[in-house]
């Protein structure tokens, strides 16, 4: 994210994000796959994955990478540029996927699914709506389903991206509903000097 423009800026919905794509002000993007994705893939975590939801997919390469691994992909974003980008990528690859312009706080799958992959969608939302968002994630997953979470670490106030401290995440993703693995969590570095903590949470 372009910190210069957005640090301490009030959270804006769709048009703000769309504008960032139009301005190419997308410092959160990486050249390739997120190192956590590659790590989890190497550990066999994606084997036999059925359906995976990718909220706030942006223009990231992970939806197609999941599809290449045989997953049925549902990729969501409310920024038209992000959706157009993913549609084009999937059309070129001749792979079917559900790519939907939708608000992640409202959208519902037809039925609960096996997995979701949140690559900096949570940190893009204002913390006031985090409990609503987490309820959504809970409802999207089958019991035993896995949430592949990338918790943004900025160590700063304000956002987006909003800092996602582990203690806050542990309260939000309550252990009554989610199984937490033991630390340490995978540290996914980024050339923008921020990093994410990769955690696989299992829906109870
Ligand atoms: C930090 S970007 C991450 C994009 C992508 N996951 C990546 O790693 O490149 C956050 C994305 O979430 C989308 N987004 C933010 N709030 C949303 C909402 N309420 N519903 C749907 N998409 C949302 C934005 O449009 C943006 O594409």
**197 falls within a domain:** yes
Indicate whether 34 belongs to any domain. no
CATH code where residue 181 lies = 3.40.50.150
63 touches ligand 1 (CB under 6 Å): no
Phi, psi (5° rounding) for residue 98?
A: -90, 115
Query: For residue 82, what are the domain limits?
Result: 3-27+39-203
Mean pLDDT of all residues in 127-132:
97
- Residues near 185 by beta carbon (within 8 Å), at least 6 away in sequence: 151, 166, 197, 198, 199
Quote the ligand 1 centre to 54 CA distance (angstroms): 10
Q: What is the pLDDT of residue 50?
A: 95
* Percentage of residues in the chain having pLDDT higher than 90: 91
- Residue 58, in any domain of the structure: yes
- At 23-55, the pLDDT tens digits run 999 999 999 999 999 999 999 999 999 999 999
Reply yes or no on whether the pLDDT at 4 is more than 60: no
Residue 160, domain member (yes or no) = yes
C-alpha distances (whole Å) from 195 to each of 43, 71, 72, 105, 173 are 20, 26, 28, 25, 20
Mean pLDDT score, 64-86: 97
Q: Return the percentage of the chain with pLDDT > 70, whole number.
A: 93
Please indicate, yes or no, if residue 74 is contained in any of the structural domains. yes
The beta strands (E) that lie in 20-94 are given as 51-54, 72-77
Please, which pLDDT band fits residue 8 given cuts at 50, 70 and 90?
very low
Domain assignment of residue 32, yes or no? no
Higher pLDDT, 90 or 194: 90
Q: 185 near 153, Cβ under 8 Å?
A: no
Please work out whether the CB of residue 137 comes within 6 Å of at least one atom of ligand 1.
no
Domain count, the chain: 1
Average pLDDT over residues 160-186: 97
Q: Residue range 172-191: average pLDDT? A: 96
Ligand 1, closest atom to CA 56?
Answer: 12
What pLDDT shows up at residue 15? 57
Q: Is residue 33 in a domain?
A: no
Ligand 1 within 6 A of CB of 17: yes
**Residue 4 to residue 174: CA distance in whole angstroms:** 34
Is residue 109 predicted with pLDDT exceeding 90?
yes
In this prediction, residue 193 carries a pLDDT of 82
What rounded mean pLDDT belongs to the chain? 92
Q: Which atom of ligand 1 is nearest to the CA of 30?
A: 9
Of the pLDDT bands very low, low, confident and very high (cuts 50, 70, 90), residue 10 is very low
In a domain, 68, yes or no: yes
């Amino acid at each position: 994210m372009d910190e210069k423009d957005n640090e301490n800026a009030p959270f804006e919905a769709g048009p703000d994000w769309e504008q960032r794509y139009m301005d190419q002000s997308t410092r959160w993007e990486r050249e390739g796959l997120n190192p956590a994705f590659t790590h989890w893939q190497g550990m066999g975590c994606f084997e036999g994955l059925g359906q995976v939801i990718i909220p706030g997919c942006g223009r990231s390469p992970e939806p197609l990478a999941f599809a290449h691994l045989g997953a049925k992909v549902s990729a969501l974003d409310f920024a038209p540029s992000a959706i157009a980008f993913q549609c084009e990528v999937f059309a070129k690859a001749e792979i079917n996927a559900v790519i939907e312009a939708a608000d992640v706080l409202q959208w519902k799958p037809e039925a609960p699914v096996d997995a979701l992959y949140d690559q900096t969608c949570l940190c893009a939302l204002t913390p006031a709506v985090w409990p609503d968002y987490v309820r959504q994630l809970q409802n999207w997953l089958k019991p035993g389903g896995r949430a592949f979470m990338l918790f943004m670490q900025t160590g700063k106030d304000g956002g987006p991206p909003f800092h996602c401290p582990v203690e806050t995440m542990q309260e939000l993703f309550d252990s009554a509903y989610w199984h937490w693995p033991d630390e340490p969590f995978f540290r996914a570095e980024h050339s923008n000097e921020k990093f994410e903590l990769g955690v696989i949470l299992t829906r109870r």
